[in-house]
Amino acid sequence: MIRIPLCRLDEIPQVGARGFTVPTASGPLDLFVVRFDGLLRAYVNRCPHRGTPLDWEPDQFLDPDTGEIVCATHGARFQPADGACLGGPCRGRGLEPVAVELEAGTIWYREPPP
Ligand code: FES
């Protein structure tokens, strides 16, 4: 199993997100980690509408008022807890989850088995 350290937990605000690119067997993978309500989730940084990155500036993935994940291109909205589409052009298509784990204060990417 391949694990790659991403960052320390305290490098992401208690409600916030951060983007990363990790090497995988199939090439570089752009992902982002979301921190909210004491939870961590991670998703591929690709909108299911047109496949563009979600952030409008580096590490800016969340609506500061609602905490929802927002696509910068056309405004699709996604639930941080499970990446489900909440509205907009995503039309029911959610974000692709990525496995991460927290160990001793460090967030790790875990590559799934082939
Ligand atoms: S590319 Fe994300 S809403 Fe269109």
Structure tokens at 67: 């905490």
Q: Which atom of ligand 1 is nearest to the CA of 76?
A: 3
| Structure confidence at residue 102 as a pLDDT band (50, 70, 90) | very high
Any ligand 1 atom below 6 A from CB of 86: no
Any ligand 1 atom below 6 A from CB of 74: yes
The CATH code of the domain that includes 93 is 2.102.10.10
Per the structure, the count of domains in the chain is 1
- Angle at Cα 54 formed by Cα 96 and Cα 56, nearest 5°? 165
Ligand 1 centroid vs 1 CA: distance in angstroms? 33
Above 80 in pLDDT, residue 57?
Answer: yes
Domain carrying residue 9: 3-110
Cα–Cα distance, 54 to 70 (Å, whole number): 7
Q: What is the mean pLDDT of the chain?
A: 95
| Structure confidence at residue 19 as a pLDDT band (50, 70, 90) | very high
